[in-house]
Structure 1
Amino acid sequence: MFNITNEIKKAFNGDAWHGNHVMQTLNNVNPESAFSHFVPDAHSIAEIALHLTAWTEEVSSRLTGKPAEEPAMGDWPEPEGRTPKDWERIIFNFKVANEELIRVCEAIKDNQWDDELKSGGSTALGTGVSNIELVNGLAQHHAYHSGQIALLSKF
């Protein structure tokens, strides 16, 4: 059987097919540039990292049976500060969120991966989506934003 937990592990900090895993991409960011807006009307690297954390936490929440909602942190949280220490905290929180997600995934039984999520206040947030589709989507989300961060970090 396909092991979706391995896919999120690879996207987070493993041997990702697409290149650097997202933790490596984040760790390569210069803390002084993490909060810069290099492209007008685009998010900073720090904002993308917070967005990744928010959705990782939301996926864990959904997998534990809570209804699909917007992330508790919001879709695009703003950084609380803009120092190298703040950047370290953002990376640390992303790491913790992914480690928790992996623990949640490892606790899911094989016969539960096809179960559909509980829908929350908005049908667009989860109706008809299975647990495996949710985690697969998050792995793709990690890869997509890792690419954005890699490009932005070249500025």
Structure 2
Amino acid sequence: MNLREIIDQLNEVYDGEPWFGNSISTYLQEIEPELLSKHLGTGHSIGQIISHMIAWREYVIGKLTGVDLKIEVGGENDWESRQFEAADKTELYSKFKSTQKRLNALLSEHTDELLGKTVPNHTITFEKLLCGIIQHDIYHLGQIYLLKSSK
């Protein structure tokens, strides 16, 4: 896989016509603001999942810009404990869109050579990290869809 293909997949999942269904931007637009607090049992709410997705996208952005962000899996900077309310929709969606624009801008500054480089303070390559964030987005998008459609 080359960098252009990864950028294309990132954009396809975000606002294209992915084979699995609606894109992230379509799903997010369809979520009624009052559903941000919706969760099942002790699971995370839609708002918490969106915030989690943003956190990991910001982590990738940090790695691309040389900022060593740390996320403790399961920790406060991984999953926010606060419950999101309808009033948070605009801010959450704006942050998500901002991470998409930032990822595109940063990746457009690089060549395929980036993909073989090791991520600072990691043992994985940027190719694995970038493919991973796409997979992460798709995984959580499925959770959001199930929460949105559950009664």
TM range (shorter): 0.7 to 0.9
Pick the aligned partner of 1:33 from 32, 35, 44: 35
The alignment partner of 2:66 has SS state of coil
> Residues 27-67 of structure 1, C-alpha deviation per residue, up to 9 Å, x if partnerless?
11111111122x11100000000001111111011122333
Structure 1 vs Structure 2 CA RMSD: 1.8
Match of 1:76 in 2: 79
Q: Distance in 1 between matches of 2:19 and 2:123?
A: 28
TM-score normalised by length of structure 2:
0.87
- The alignment status of 1:59 with 2:54, answered yes or no, reads no
Counterpart residue type for residue 152 of structure 1: L
Segments of 4+ moved more than 3 angstroms:
78-81
Counterpart residue type for residue 97 of structure 1: T
> Residues 85-107 of structure 1, C-alpha deviation per residue, up to 9 Å, x if partnerless?
31121111111111111111111
Higher helix proportion (structure 1 or 2): 2
Pick the aligned partner of 2:147 from 140, 149, 152: 152
Q: How many residues align?
A: 145
Q: Contact (CA 8 Å) 1:65, 1:117: kept in 2 or not?
A: no
Alignment of 1:85-104 (within 5 A): 85-104=87-106
Deviation at 1:77, TM superposition (A): 2.1
Match of 1:123 in 2: none
Runs of 5+ unmatched residues, structure 2:
none
Percent of aligned positions with the same letter in both sequences? 28
The alignment partner of 1:153 has SS state of helix
